[in-house]
Structure 1
């Protein structure tokens, strides 16, 4: 039996809005430690990893490990029927082929339940190795979203370079070039407005802006975003979810030779 009760139901809605355009179908894994998802996008370029720890739920019951295949667009449609202040409960039987979403208004005067069919999705679980990153940038998430959006009006790729000077986002396209530099800045009165750069090694990598803009759909989940970079590894763009977990996106860098030949 699975029963998860989330008082901040809007969190689940925001998570689905952030990932449903990247991933169509995915398995949600539930164990005693939490509710998680790991899935590649349809073109197998980006990886999404979600974790909602059990402590963050008001009530968390998961008698045995369950993997539930869901179509994320269908799930998003169901969750849109919940009010932003609603308490959301997920229920499923161990051997069942459906999951029930229950939405309760805060005053408890309205309860709705929606049942959705589960899918059988074959997916291998990818081991994501723990890694030490050469540079980690933490910045306001709305700032990062704005930069990605602005740069995509000019080019298709973004070069993210971290040096002692700060972090530079650059692009070039047919109409010209653009560079945005954010310097290390710890604003004391508003910590969430800070830009914090931890650099062991300078790093400069190129990424497809289409994916970066897709990742920034998670901006409503968190005031800050962390971008972890290493020359040999995919970038990790991470949004913390309240105090209960995270949503991480992994994207492999583009190899520069491709651009020289084009």
Structure 2
């Protein structure tokens, strides 16, 4: 038997919105420690990894490890039936072919019950190696979202450079070029915090803005975002979900002058390196 009750049901809506543009379907792996998910986009350019520890839920019960294969859009449709203040309980029986969603309003005067048919999804669980990143940058998630949105109106790929001068986002396209530089300890917004940079070596990566804009849909989950960079390995973008979870995106760096290079599986050897780690 698996049962997990999320008091802040809107959290699940935000998570599904954040990963919906990355993959159409995914396996939700349930164990005594919580719920995890790992899925890639169809081009194998980016990977998303989600962890919600058991402490996120109250109560949480998972008698045996269980994998719930679901279509992301179908889950989103069901979650739209829940109010933003509703609690959401997810239930599934071992060996069953459906997963149940129970929505309860705050004053308990409305209870909604839905079931979704499970899918058999053939997905490999990739080993993500620990990396000592050259640069780790923490900044307000709202500012990162604004930068990605603004620069995407000029070009399709962005060069992210981290040095002692700060972090610089630059783009060049048919209509022109532009750049945004954030200095260490620059206060963007008093409520969202400042820019903090930890750097061992300067690093520059070029990635597709389309994917970064997908990632920033997770901005509603956290006030801050952490960007980790290392030469020739995927760019890592992490949003913490309270004290009990996180969502991480990994994006293969672009090589060559054509944006099409980014859309090839394992571009730059980035995501391919993660896949190879799983084979060891």
For normalisation by structure 2, the TM-score amounts to: 0.90
User: Which residue pairs with 2:250 in the alignment?
Assistant: 250
Equivalents in 2 of 1:164, 1:253: separation in Å? Answer: 22
Q: What are structure 1's unaligned runs of at least 5 residues? A: none
Q: What is the aligned length?
A: 260
User: Which residue pairs with 2:45 in the alignment?
Assistant: 45
- 3-state secondary structure, aligned to 1:143: helix
1:4-59, Cα deviation, whole Å (9 max, x unpaired): 00101111000001111211011000001110100001221110100000011111
Equivalents in 2 of 1:92, 1:188: separation in Å? Answer: 44
Residues 103-122 of structure 1 correspond to what in structure 2 (within 5 A)?
103-122=103-122
| Alpha-carbon spacing, 1:189–1:169, altered in 2? closer, same or farther (3 Å) | closer
- 3-state secondary structure, aligned to 2:119: coil
Structure 1 contact 26–38 (Cα < 8 Å) conserved: yes
Equivalents in 2 of 1:121, 1:188: separation in Å? Answer: 43
Equivalents in 2 of 1:176, 1:232: separation in Å? Answer: 27
* Root-mean-square deviation over aligned CA pairs: 1.6
Equivalents in 1 of 2:256, 2:189: separation in Å? Answer: 41
CA apart distance, 1:191? 6.6
Structure 1 contact 206–256 (Cα < 8 Å) conserved: no
1:117-146, Cα deviation, whole Å (9 max, x unpaired): 000000110000111100011000010011
1:160 correspondence with 2:141: no
Structure 1 contact 14–220 (Cα < 8 Å) conserved: yes
Equivalents in 1 of 2:189, 2:149: separation in Å? Answer: 27
| Alpha-carbon spacing, 1:143–1:232, altered in 2? closer, same or farther (3 Å) | same
Q: What are structure 2's unaligned runs of at least 5 residues? A: 262-280
For normalisation by structure 1, the TM-score amounts to: 0.96
Structure 2 contact 166–183 (Cα < 8 Å) conserved: yes
1:32-89, Cα deviation, whole Å (9 max, x unpaired): 1110100001221110100000011111100000111000000001111111111000
CA apart distance, 1:192? 3.0
